Amino acid sequence: MGAAQFDQLTGQFLRSVRDGGGGLVAVCGACVHVLPVRRAAIVLEERDAGLQPWCASDEIADRVEAAQATAGEGPAVSAVDDGVPVAVPDLATEVERWPGFAEALGDAAPRGSLLAIPLRLGGARLGALDLYRDAIGRPGPRLVTASLHVADLVTASLVLAAEGETRRWGQPSSSRWIHQAAGMASAQLGIEVTDAYARMRGYAFSHGLSLVQVARGVVDRSICFEPE
């Protein structure tokens, strides 16, 4: 892609975000609008909790991102850890690299491929942009190049929001539930918060629940952890 094409892509992205009303939901929608992908999601690194979904363009992407958050592993986690994009040619058959993610995903795996791109600012790990296609196979170089540029635009949007130069993006309710539940479990059991997240993930796996479902149960006290 030449400079003119990058400029055109940038203009299309910014217009789409503006037309969508701004905010992270509009950013997700802009990714789908300007790239040849079916859906998109943005996951952000949260202290102790790891990567958590902050926006998904549809329910299918939301289910996949919930599985990654529950397992604490997956394409986005690897992309952030390694600092390079991770391609999954077929989500339905090629996730054995992440057994916990595969188990959490179960029958919810959509047919198609995924490209996870890390969102970084210098040495700071912000999160990842996940791009979904209906087509099976690895993305071509043109799509990868365009996706990397859009990921840079997403990163810039996150930085501007953090600096208060754009509309403030509220923390999603799912993330708030998880943090509240971890704090409650930590106090209840007398353990570190990081260990509380591990207990919640373990409970989610053993009971076939998502991390958010477990968090809601802890907060409303329908789920209680016993000291080990």
pLDDT of residue 22: 81
> Where a domain ends, among 115, 130, 163?
163
> Is 225 part of a structural domain of the chain?
no
SS3 188: helix
Same domain, yes or no, for 33 and 57?
yes
- Of the candidates 146, 125, 128, 108, the one whose C-alpha atom is nearest the C-alpha of residue 10 is 146
CATH number, position 58: 3.30.450.40
Same domain, yes or no, for 95 and 205?
no
Which of left, alpha, beta for 85 (phi over 0: left; psi -120 to 50: alpha)?
Answer: beta
Same domain, yes or no, for 147 and 197?
no
- Of the candidates 191, 197, 204, 194, the one whose C-alpha atom is nearest the C-alpha of residue 178 is 197
> Is 105 part of a structural domain of the chain?
yes
Same domain, yes or no, for 209 and 145?
no
Same domain, yes or no, for 21 and 101?
yes
Find out whether 36 and 133 touch, Cβ atoms under 8 Å: yes
Same domain, yes or no, for 179 and 202?
yes
CA–CA gap between residue 117 and residue 57 (Å, rounded) = 16
pLDDT of residue 101: 93
Q: Which residue has the tokens 């999160």?
A: 127
> Where a domain ends, among 140, 163, 186?
163
User: What is the number of domains present in the chain?
Assistant: 2
Same domain, yes or no, for 113 and 39?
yes
Per-residue pLDDT of the chain (228 residues; tens, 9 = 90+): 667 887 898 899 999 998 988 888 899 999 999 999 999 999 998 877 778 888 999 999 999 999 999 899 999 999 999 999 999 999 999 999 999 999 988 887 888 999 999 998 877 888 999 999 999 999 999 999 999 999 999 988 887 765 554 344 556 666 677 778 878 888 888 888 788 878 888 888 788 787 878 888 888 888 888 777
CA–CA gap between residue 117 and residue 139 (Å, rounded) = 12
pLDDT of residue 166: 39
Same domain, yes or no, for 183 and 151?
no
Q: Which residue has the tokens 């210098």?
A: 122
pLDDT of residue 199: 83
pLDDT of residue 161: 64
**The pair of three-digit structure tokens given for residue 114, joined into one six-digit string:** 């995924």
> Is 227 part of a structural domain of the chain?
no
Please report which residue ranges of the chain form alpha helices under DSSP H: 3-19, 23-34, 59-71, 75-82, 99-105, 141-162, 173-189, 193-207, 211-219
Q: Residue 137's domain spans which residues?
A: 3-163
pLDDT of residue 76: 96
> Is 168 part of a structural domain of the chain?
no
CA–CA gap between residue 121 and residue 168 (Å, rounded) = 19
Same domain, yes or no, for 143 and 182?
no
pLDDT of residue 167: 42
Same domain, yes or no, for 158 and 184?
no
